[in-house]
Amino acid sequence: MPSTSCRPVMTDAGIKPTIAVEATDEFQNVREMHIADERPLTLYVDSYEIVTLMTLGKTPELLALGYLKNQGIIEDINEIQSVQVDWDVNAAAVTTYSERDDWKERLGPRIVTTGCGQGTVYGNIVEQLSRIELQASRLKQSDIYSLLKNLGRYNDVYKSAGAVHGCALCSGTQVTAFIEDVGRHNAVDAIAGQMWLENTSGHDKLFYTTGRLTSEMVMKVAQMGIPALLSRSGITQMGLKLAKDFGVILFSRAAGKHFLIYNGVEHIEFDVSLPPKHDVANLKTRQQKSKI
């Protein structure tokens, strides 16, 4: 391993995330439509096959890095010599300076999670999770509203083709990184890879996802050192339990001017005046209808 911090040698093999195809509508009109161009990417470390990920391929190098980081397979980015992606063989080859040959023994058992396209968590992650200590900062209700409004400018692939999830790294009311992929776990891993590569701290950030808040999502965000997680979707029991264990502020059903806080309400400053009583009743009715 080199004695000083250095950036891995990396390809820049991102590809177009959608393709044009023909579809026939209900009136028998043939229309050109764009669909998500999902493809496999097999990740190797020192020639040892780790996993095959289904991805759009927009940021494959960052996805490879983030996956290794969030799975606890490699903890120090200075161990990585290069990340080479070759779409001719649908592979991402990560080479380390140590070129170990004991990856199978180091990884331990693999657990299939509820992530879209079957996420994975390796058994050796438990020890690393036990070391996590998050310090939640105070968040303003008005800032959450502004952030949700700003997030509406993204989701480019979803708007053109659908069938994808989006994740965002946020600072205050601003979106600093937004990545879409066929699975939310891929999108969060790619952002984790970018943070790792650029040595970005997560202590003052928020994370947004379009997907549900499962145990896997909470674990990944906690590993990234981010104390607040927002989703426009729902939440699972295990996701809530882990959020309480790690101290992650958890927002669910976050869209427009609505959100539900499942954990960390004591860290929220409610600085927006309540609407008149009749407006509150109408708002509750609209929210209930939106869930049908």
121 vs 204, higher pLDDT: 204
Does position 137 have pLDDT exceeding 60, yes or no?
A: yes
Mean pLDDT of all residues in 196-223: 93
The answer, yes or no, to whether residue 28 has pLDDT greater than 80, is: yes
Instruction: Give the separation between CA 289 and CA 251, rounded to whole angstroms.
Output: 20
Q: Does pLDDT of 120 surpass 80?
A: no
Tell me if the pTM is above 0.75. Answer: yes
Q: Is 290's pLDDT higher than 70?
A: no
**pLDDT at residue 112 is higher than 50:** no
Q: For 216-238, how does the pLDDT look when each residue is reduced to its tens digit (9 = 90+)?
A: 899 999 999 999 999 999 999 98
Q: Measured in Å, how far apart are the chain's first and last C-alpha atoms?
A: 55
Q: Domain boundaries in the chain?
A: 9-129, 139-290
Provide the pLDDT for residue 289.
58
Segment 140-181, tens digit of pLDDT: 999 999 999 999 888 888 778 777 889 999 999 999 999 999
Check if CATH label 3.30.830.10 holds for domain 139-290.
no
pLDDT beyond 50 at 32: yes
Determine the pLDDT at residue 35.
87
What value does the mean pLDDT take over residues 66-92?
94
Average model confidence (pLDDT) for the chain? 86
Number of H helices, E strands in the chain: 9, 17
286: confidence class by pLDDT, cuts 50, 70, 90: low
Please determine, for residue 99, whether its predicted confidence score (pLDDT) is greater than 90: no
Q: Is the pLDDT of residue 123 over 60?
A: no
Reported for 232-238, long-range contacts at CB under 8 A and 24+ positions apart, including other chains, are 233/209, 235/262, 236/114, 236/212, 238/214
Find all residues with CB under 8 Å of 81, minimum gap 6, and list them: 8, 9, 95, 96, 97
Residue 226 · residue 206 · CB < 8 Å: yes
CATH fold match for the domains 9-129 and 139-290 = no
Residue 26: left if φ>0, alpha if ψ -120 to 50, beta else—which one? alpha
Is 33 or 288 the better-scoring residue by pLDDT?
33
Q: The domain 9-129: what is its CATH number? A: 3.10.20.10
Percent of the chain whose predicted confidence (pLDDT) is above 70: 85
Confidence of residue 83 (pLDDT cuts 50, 70, 90): very high
Collapsing DSSP to helix, strand or coil, 282 comes out as helix
pLDDT at position 42 over 80: yes
Amino acid 1: pLDDT:
59
pLDDT band, residue 273 (cuts 50/70/90): confident
